[in-house]
Amino acid sequence: MTQSDAGESWVRGTHLGVALTGEDIVLDGGVFRDCRFNACRLHYDGGMLPVLTGCHFDDCSWLFGGPAANTLSILSALNQGGFDAVVERTVAAIRSGAIGVPAPAEQPAERGRRRVIDLGFGQFPVPRVLRRSRPRPIDGPDSGGQDTEGREE
């Protein structure tokens, strides 16, 4: 166990065959094999995926923070905003196991190929951010009251 900044005890790391009751468990990057969780609070913040193999969960709560909470928030917003079909297809892809393990974010894209996100029901290009400077208005005695596009102001 480790202490949080607030003095709370957190269980994290690698555990084999332990029984945990009423604990705060940090799942990010953790390895739990053949463990029993009873009335625990399981926290996942969107970091490295945990390994949960042969574990049993009884009366536990699952808490999401950071990027994991952001993902749930956008899915909720999409669902509320009329994109419920997209959310349903995403959940169906999750249930069927069609969504694979993501590549690390630090891994550069292959040269010459567009990066895509495969959600199990379609591949979508990863958008590129293009930064364009805004045209500056030309102010001066010979500008004639026109902007940079040649339109009169």
Closest CA to 91 of 108, 76, 110: 76
Closest CA to 47 of 20, 63, 62, 66: 66
pTM above 0.75, yes or no: no
Q: What is residue 9's predicted lDDT score, i.e. its pLDDT?
A: 73
pLDDT at residue 131, rounded to an integer: 64
Helix (H, G, I), strand (E, B) or coil at 80: helix
Average pLDDT over all residues of the chain: 79
Sequence spans of domains, the chain: 2-64, 67-98+114-125
CA distance 29 to 34: 17
d(CA 10, CA 2): 5
Rounded Cα–Cα distance for residues 31 and 16 (Å):
8
- 132 compared with 90, residue with greater pLDDT: 90
